[in-house]
Amino acid sequence: MSGVTPGWGAEVVMDETTNLVAAARSIVKFFAHESCGQCTPCREGTSWLEAVLDRILAGAGRPADLDLLADVSDNISPGLRWPPAMTTICPLGPSAVSPILAILTRFRSEVEAMVSMGVPIG
Amino acid sequence: MPSPSSADGVLITVDGRSVQAEVGIPLIQACEVAGTYIPRFCWHPRMKPVGMCRVCLVEVESPRGRGLVPACTTPVTDGLVVHTVSPVAKKAQEGVLEFLLINHPLDCPVCDRGGECPLQDQVLAYGPGESRFVEEKRHFPKPIEISELVLLDRERCILCARCTRFSEEVSGDPLLEFVDRGYGTQVLTFPDQPFRSYFSGNTVQICPVGALTARPYRFRARPWDLEAVESTCTHCSVGCRISVQSSQNQVLRFLAVDNDATNQGWLCDKGRFLFEAISSPNRLTVPLVKGEDGQLSQASWDEALEVAAFRLEAILAKRGGASVAGLGGARSTNEAAYALGKLLRAAIGTNHVDAQLGDGLDPQFTVAALGRGTIDDLDRASTILVWGPDLKEELPVLYLRVRQAVQAGATLIVCHPRATGLDDRAAQRLRYRPGEGPELLARLQSGEGEAIAARQALAAGSVVALLGRASAGDDPRLPEAVAGWLNQFPEVRILPLARRSNVYGALDMGLAPTLLPGRVSASSGQARAELAQRWGSVAEGVGRDAGGILAGLADRQLTAVLLAGSDPVSDFPDPDLAQRALTAAGLVIAFDTFLSASARLADVVFPVAGFTEVEGTATNLEGRVQKLNRIVPPPGLARPEWSVFDDLAVRLGFELGAISAEALAKEIASVAPAYQGADWDVIEAEPEGVLLPRPGVVQPLRYVPVDPGLKPHKVRLALHRARLLYDQGVHLQSSPSLAGLATASFAAFHPDDAARMGIPPESRVRLTSAGGQAELLVRRDPSLRPGTVFVPIGLAGSESLGCELEVRVEVIG
């Protein structure tokens, strides 16, 4: 079957200078943009996540935003587990949740630092 | 698993309770039947589920563990185990409600939906206590006018797709659609295409928020200030159930009630918004008597009754009862119609009475045809034949029922001179020129040409035939001829179609020359004798129909006429004859809610209470009796019709015995054979009303339709006249929101005819018929059978044309 692509995936390589909130925001933004808008959790949830990340990046983050991001994600993909459960019609909404989960679990201190500094990131 | 399941259902487990449920129905519905309410926005019991809003998420058990599914798109299966209030289900529902609220403006205090808003109510019951959303909400210009009647506020919209699905699935005019996607998704009309639907009010009623509002009700009341009573719409003969809502003695809106037998939760916009006419300043509020100067002027009830009775008595003494006639009753309640019949036949002594105005069908065929069906029969039909009015224009909710039946698999055949609202669903569209109906019938009978497939469909399986006057130029016996032919097939049900209001009730009450109360033939000597025993007397002799009455008045064979909510000058196919008749009459007494064109010619005008102002019953086109209720007092000194008839009878020395509408209803149930057992308490107890005759009751008349062997009338250019929903009728023109929707009169030509006759587009033509002339704007209608010109009835500017079959054309510019 050489020369045939059975599917696609993507790997993004970032160095240690990358702002991971900004990285997460651009992935979430992609999914929010791709959302068809048919079902409520994806239409409203992905754009809400994007707005919260935008706000944090603009320096107006609040400590409560970490729990908020986690819970909004949970309302799109209950349990935040793999394979994802969904309140949505299709898996697009739950896909938007994985970068949030990644920054909240693996890079939590970075998000917390950004929220507590409260200055816009260029 | 617990055991099985009876024939009509299976066992499912809802929150630990084992309940019966019907296989295949949506889980949300099964749970509701079992007493467990699951929140919902997009789901509507009369539309297909789409699972879009996601608020009805519940957990169901499967071999792979519990999973969240929308209860609206999950069908019931045997042994299904569902958790509607488990922590996971609750969190999902709460989460979705929070999502729906984040971009929803909290303008509830100025929103018409506030107080009866499913979003408000369900957030209160199932949602989170507060919102965590601190970002800027989504903004749209608000509200935008999407039609003359409906406004759209996209900020309030929660994108449940109820309105878009209604337009597509139910009413068949998909003028509302989603545009854009994701965060920008919105409901909108197409550019330059307003939401001009005859059914737009339904989208307002089913909108779960205040995104769609209707002009007639906007900012008029708060829901908690409204009083409501259930009643029946009597603007046409379908008999839709409605909730009449008023505040401070003013009717402010009608909402559809879901009556499974008739309207199933829908209304047409005319029925829904015509309520404005009730509180019109043009209503008649005091009696009027024509003075020596020929002008109508105000009088007291005593004076007016005295003048009417005195002059009527003089005519009776000089020329006898048979010189008097009655027209109308089709807008009355059954009780008032019955009292009118008794007044005419017993107190006055005449059989000249007609509730139809020359635009109807044979009265006996209409109410007592052998093989008469019900609206519900449509859902079981394999073939539906519509040979009659364009249902979308004349009986709009029946049009919805036919659409639904076709969607469920029935084959539809439409016979009409031009495309009707149903044609997009029709398997066979047979067009014919007015007057040439018998030829089309012959083609169907022999199965020739285009009629082969139609004939095959009609001869096999269960058939429901909706038969009425497709065109005023058609022979009134044509529907009967079609019925006579169809009756040879084994499974045929017939619904004879008359349009006007409570015309079936009026005919059932004997307001036709050939009928006595209760579906009894007037030519039955025994029935006449029995009725005379109850009434004291019943006039002898053969009665005249509306045409005969007007002709009799015009040539002074008849002297007096009573008009009960009847306006022959506007509604009779030959308005010129009607005008001459009422001018020549020695005495015209009108009972009306408005000063109609005919009432203007009356000598005495009595102001009567109308719809929502009186109690009573009405009978719909399938013979179903439903209750009408009162919620507001009549304007000024107006009184219920039956009480005016009673007073007039008393002054003529006759006791009608009409002490109340309820007493009249009791009398009807005992005097009118087909109405046996139709007491008010029985009718009120049945949510769907009572279909007559009730089981075990024998209806004396079973009219066997026979093909009278009609001959086609061929003319060079045939005039097709039929009604449109919005016209110059007095009720519509007294409803400010609807009045402007009536178009100007026009003459529609087939493009080939227009080319042949040299009629340029956008030109004006003069049409000349035997009745008169009209100058009209030209339109093109490629769906017309060539050789036919269509001029709607009831629009300003074409009155004098009449309903003649042949017409001549000249271009005038």
User: Each residue of B508-539: b (16+ CB within 10 Å) or e?
Assistant: bbbbbbbbbbbbbbbeeeebbebbeeebeebb
Beta bridge partners of B245: B228, B253
Provide the H-helix boundaries in B219-332.
269-273, 301-319
Report the pLDDT value the prediction gives residue A117, as an integer from 0 to 100: 86
DSSP H helical segments within chain A, as ranges?
Answer: 20-34, 40-57, 65-76, 92-106, 108-117
Quote the percentage of chain B above a pLDDT of 90: 94
Name the residue facing B99 among A51, A75, A78 (closest C-beta): A75
Whole-angstrom CA distances from B713 to B320, B415, B473, B635, B767 are 40, 17, 10, 49, 19
State the smallest CA–CA distance between residue B92 and chain A in angstroms.
6
Distance between CA atoms of residues B387 and B722, nearest Å = 13
Residue B799: predicted pLDDT: 83
pLDDT at A10: 76
**pLDDT above 90 coverage of chain A, percent:** 80
Whether chain B has a CB inside 8 Å of the CB on A90: the answer is no
Of B51, B88, B135, the CB nearest to A78: B88
Instruction: Give the residue-averaged pLDDT of B222-240.
Output: 97
Q: What is the pLDDT of residues B377-422, one digit of tens each?
A: 999 999 999 999 999 999 999 999 999 999 999 999 999 999 999 9
Tens digits of per-residue pLDDT, B137-162?
Answer: 999 999 999 999 999 999 999 999 99
pLDDT tens-place string over residues B421-432: 999 999 999 999
Nearest by CB to B96, which of A41, A71, A89? A41
Check: CB of residue B520 under 8 Å from CB of residue B700. Answer: yes
pLDDT digits (tens, 9 = 90+) for B485-498: 999 898 999 999 99
Pairing state between β B515-516 and B520-521: antiparallel
Closest alpha carbon within chain B to A51: B135
pLDDT band with cut points at 50, 70 and 90 for residue B813: confident
pLDDT tens digits, residue range B635-682?
A: 999 999 999 999 999 999 999 999 999 999 999 999 999 999 999 999
Chain A and chain B share a number of CB contacts under 8 A equal to: 88
pLDDT beyond 60 at B331: yes
What is the number of alpha carbons within 13 Å of residue B776 lying toward its C-beta? 28
Residue among B522, B445, B533, B577 at smallest CA distance from B701: B522
Which residues of chain B neighbour A38 with C-beta distances below 8 Å?
52, 185
Tell me the pLDDT band of A3, cut-offs 50, 70 and 90: low
Q: Is the pLDDT of residue B2 over 90?
A: no
Distances (CA, A) of A22 to A50, A112, B609: 10, 14, 72
Q: Is the peptide bond before A83 cis (omega within 30 degrees of 0)?
A: yes
DSSP B450: G
The pLDDT value recorded for residue B269 is: 98
The pLDDT assigned to B7 comes to 54
B53 to chain A: which residues are within 8 Å by CB? 39-40
How high is the pLDDT of residue A2?
53
Nearest to B285 by CA among B605, B632, B38, B683: B605
A contacts of B185 (beta carbons < 8 Å) = 36-38, 43
Yes or no: say if B358 and B574 are a contact pair by the CB < 8 Å rule.
yes
A51 and B CB contact within 8 Å: yes
Mean pLDDT along residues B803-807:
91
DSSP-assigned letters across all residues of B473-520: TS-TTHHHHHHHHHTTSTTEEEEE---BTTHHHHHHTT-BTTEETTTE
Residue B119 has pLDDT above 80, yes or no: yes
Q: Tell which residue, B372, B415, B442, has the closest CA to residue B693.
A: B372
- For residue A61, the distance in angstroms to the closest alpha carbon of chain B comes to 11
pLDDT confidence bin for A82, thresholds 50/70/90: confident
Mean pLDDT of chain B: 96
Interchain pair A78, B91: CB under 8 A: yes
> Hey, which residues does B83 pair with through a beta bridge?
B59
In the 8-state DSSP scheme, what is residue B346?
A: I
Neighbours of A20 (CB within 10 A): 17
Cβ-defined contact of B52 to A38 (cutoff 8 Å):
yes
Contact by Cβ (8 Å): B132, B159: no
Q: Which residues of B touch A89 (CB under 8 A)?
A: 51-52, 54
ipTM for the assembly: 0.94
Whether residue B693 has a cis bond before it, omega within 30° of 0: yes
What b/e readout covers B156-183, taking b as 16+ CB neighbours within 10 angstroms? bbbbbbbbbbbbbbbbbbebbeeeeebb
Cα–Cα distance list, B395 to B349, B357, B400, B460 (Å): 35, 18, 9, 27
Distance (Å, whole) CA A23 – CA A106: 14
Angle between helices A108-117 and A92-106 (to 10 degrees): 80
CA distances (Å), B476 to each of B360, B366, B470, B543, B715, in order?
A: 7, 11, 10, 18, 18
pLDDT of res. B152: 98
Each as own residue / partner, the long-range contacts of residues A91-98 (CB below 8 Å, 24 or more positions apart, any chain) are A92/A31, A92/A34, A92/A35, A92/A36, A92/A42, A93/A31, A93/A35, A93/A39, A93/A41, A93/A42, A93/A45, A93/A46, A95/A31, A96/A27, A96/A28, A96/A31, A96/A32, A96/A35, A96/A42, A96/A45, A96/A46, A96/A49, A97/A49, A97/A73
Judge: B182–A74 Cβ closer than 8 Å, yes or no.
Answer: no
pLDDT the model gives residue B3: 44
Residue B105 pLDDT greater than 50, yes or no: yes
Distances (CA, A) of A121 to A16, A47, A99, A105, B368: 16, 20, 19, 21, 83
- A 18-37 residues inside an 8 A Cβ radius of B: 32-37
Contacting residues for A83 by C-beta, under 8 A, at least 6 apart: none
User: Is the model's pLDDT at B1 over the cut of 60?
Assistant: no
Give the start-end residues of each E strand in B26-175.
Answer: 57-62, 65-70, 81-83, 144-145, 150-152
Given its phi and psi angles, is residue B451 left (phi above 0), alpha (psi -120 to 50 degrees) or beta?
alpha
Question: Would you call A40 and B53 a contact, using CB atoms and an 8 Å cutoff?
Answer: yes
**∠ CA(B770), CA(B775), CA(B777), 5° rounding?**
130
Encoded tokens for B128:
């989170």
User: Does the pLDDT of residue A121 top 80, yes or no?
Assistant: no
Q: What pLDDT, in 10s, does the model give residues B720-751?
A: 999 999 999 999 999 999 999 999 999 999 99
Joined tokens for residue B710: 């009609």
Question: Is the Cβ–Cβ distance between B316 and B309 less than 8 Å?
Answer: no
pLDDT score, position B798: 87
Residue range B552-597, pLDDT digits in tens: 999 999 999 999 999 999 999 999 999 999 999 999 999 999 999 9
In this prediction the pTM is: 0.95
Please enumerate in sequence order all residues whose Cβ is within 8 A of that of A73, keeping only pairs 6 or more positions apart, or say none: A45, A49, A80, A97, A100, A101
Two tokens, residue A40: 């409520």
Confidence of residue B450 (pLDDT cuts 50, 70, 90): confident
Residue A19 pLDDT: 93
Look at residue A6 in the predicted model and tell me its pLDDT: 59
Rounded CA gap, B253 and A43, in Å? Answer: 35
Q: Do A75 and B132 touch (CB under 8 A)?
A: no
Is pLDDT at B249 greater than 50 in this prediction?
yes
Cross-chain CB nearest to A48 (options B54, B88, B133): B133
At position B89, the amino acid (one-letter code) is A
The residue with tokens 């044509």 is B478
A1 pLDDT band, cuts 50/70/90, is: very low
Give the three-class secondary structure for A19: coil
pLDDT at A64 over 80: yes
Question: What is the dihedral angle through the alpha carbons of B335, B340, B343, B346, rounded to the nearest 10 degrees?
Answer: -80
Judge whether B7 and B16 are in contact, CB under 8 Å.
Answer: no
**pLDDT one-digit tens code per residue, B12-30:** 999 999 999 999 999 999 9
Q: Say how far apart CA B382 and CA B365 lie, in whole Å.
A: 24
Local confidence band at B88 (pLDDT 50, 70, 90 cut-offs): very high
Looking at beta carbons, which residues of chain B come within 8 Å of A34? 182
Whether the pLDDT of residue B5 is over 50: the answer is: no
List of residues 6+ apart from B208 with CB closer than 8 A: B41, B117, B118, B119, B158, B160, B162
Where does B54-141 have alpha helices with state H? 87-102, 118-126
Q: What is the CA radius of gyration of chain B?
A: 28
* Cα B636 from Cα B613, distance rounded (Å): 12
Closest by CA position to B121, among listed B37, B36, B200? B37
Give CA–CA dist B768/B588, Å, rounded. 31
